[in-house]
Amino acid sequence: MQSRRRVQGGMTLIEMLLALAIAGFLVAGLAGTVGQTLDAWSATRARLDVVEQAHFALERMERAVRGSPQLVLPLAENPATAWSESSRDVLALVLDPRLDRDDDSFADADNDRDGRVDEDPGKDTNDDGKAGIEGIDDDGDGSVDEGDQDDDDEDQSLDEDPVDGIDSDGDGAIGEDPKGDLNGDAQPGIAGIDDDGDGSVDETVPPDDDEDRDLDSSNVDEDWYDSVVFYLDSGTLLERFPNPHATDGQDYEEYELAEGVSLFQVTRVPAPRGVLVDLTLELTDADGRAVSLVTRVRVGGEL
Write out pLDDT tens, residues 224-242: 999 999 999 999 999 999 9
The model's pTM: 0.85
Amino acid at position 48, single letter: L
pLDDT of 1 reads: 45
Q: How far apart are CA 151 and CA 145, in angstroms?
A: 9
Q: Which of 1-5, 66-70, 156-160, 216-220 has the highest mean pLDDT?
A: 66-70
Q: What is the mean pLDDT of the chain?
A: 87
Determine the Cα–Cα distance for residues 149 and 92; give it in Å rounded to an integer: 17
Give the list of residues 6+ apart from residue 257 with CB closer than 8 angstroms, or none: 53, 56, 57, 60, 230, 237, 238, 239
Task: Give yes or no for a contact between 266 and 285, defined as CB atoms under 8 angstroms apart.
Answer: no
- Band (pLDDT 50/70/90 cuts) for residue 7 is very low
C-alpha distances (whole Å) from 52 to each of 15, 155, 199, 229, 240 are 55, 38, 54, 21, 20
pLDDT at 40 over 90: no
Q: Is the pLDDT of residue 199 over 90?
A: no
pLDDT at 215: 63
Mean pLDDT of 153-172: 89
Residue 140 pLDDT exceeds 60: yes
Q: pLDDT tens for residues 279-289?
A: 999 999 888 88
Question: What is the model's pLDDT at position 181?
Answer: 87
Judge whether 281 and 267 are in contact, CB under 8 Å: no
Q: What's residue 217's pLDDT?
A: 67
Grade residue 220 by pLDDT with cuts at 50, 70 and 90. Answer: confident
Burial 44-56, CB ≥16 within 10 A → b, else e: eeeeeebeebbee
